[in-house]
Amino acid sequence: AIQHRLWPEVDRLVKQQVAMARMGIGECGTGWQLFAEDGEMKMYRREEEVDGMVVDPLKAVHVVKGITGHEVCDYFFNPKYRYDWETTLEHMTVLETISDDTLVFLQTHKRIWPASQRDVVFWSHMRKLPNDQDRDGPDIWTVVNNSTESPEHPANVGKCVRIYLTVCLLCQTRVHPPKDGAPITRNNVSCKITYCSVVNPGGWAPASVLRAVYKREYPKFLKRFTSYVINQTKNKPLMF
Ligand SMILES: CCCc1ccc(-c2ccc(S(=O)(=O)CCO)cc2)cc1[C@H]1C[C@H]1c1ccccn1
């Protein structure tokens, strides 16, 4: 296939992010704090500051019954669903369709008082990966979002402060075949979701405010997004 201008960066980031997402929290270095837990969902963060700005890496692990990794990644990647589940989104534009699995987005997020409003430009890539740990197991699906430049939308020109992020959503489908050899239904599948993100807020914002926002918003985001996928897929045929 022909490679596009971002391909080398996309391929490198995907490999790096997937490797990190697949590591257990214990292997990801020290200093991870469990800061939110709700049923199967566990959210960890590490307190890190760069130039006095909070850039706390976040890692969330969740297991959701009745949906597949392909379905989760499709609803996360595809712009037509984003306003349905991304509550902090004020505006989203697809700046470029590089290929059917690689898009460039411009998003403005709702302002969080007292911080100024933020925007972000990022490429988003969705990919199926071979399940090298379980050959005949279902494939692994991932979406990686990574900040990128856009000459048409230079940073910090308008009212918004440009943020910089790297996000990886890694989904591993599990099938629990029914005893009696019956066909696989949604009751026989679950998806292990790993969500990793590092967000640099771009301009100064009070550490206490940012940490409070993340503590409130990340659990809400993951629960709302997974509930959305469950509702959207419940009467549809399984997509592996
Ligand atoms: C000062 C930082 C403000 C801020 C910057 C960035 C983001 C943000 C952007 C993108 C993505 S995503 O995972 O790529 C899904 C596509 O939208 C997640 C989060 C959220 C907030 C703020 C609005 C808060 C928030 C935090 C966590 C989750 C959702 N919203």
Cis peptide before 151 (omega within 30 of 0): no
Mind listing the pLDDT tens digit of every residue in the chain (240 residues)? 678 899 999 999 999 999 999 998 888 888 999 999 999 999 999 999 988 899 999 999 999 999 999 999 999 999 999 999 999 999 999 999 999 999 999 999 999 888 899 999 999 999 999 988 888 888 899 999 999 999 999 999 999 999 999 999 999 999 999 999 999 999 999 999 999 999 999 988 889 999 999 999 999 999 999 999 999 999 999 999
- Quick: pLDDT tens for 177-201: 999 999 999 999 999 999 999 999 9
**Predicted model pTM:** 0.96
**92 bridge partner residues:** 107
Q: How many CA atoms lie within 13 A of 223 on its CB side?
A: 13
Q: How far is the CA of 88 from the centre of ligand 1 (A)?
A: 7
Pocket-forming residues, ligand 1, beta carbon under 6 Å: 86, 88, 107, 109, 115, 118, 120, 145, 163, 165, 167, 197, 199, 201, 205, 210, 213-214, 217-218, 221
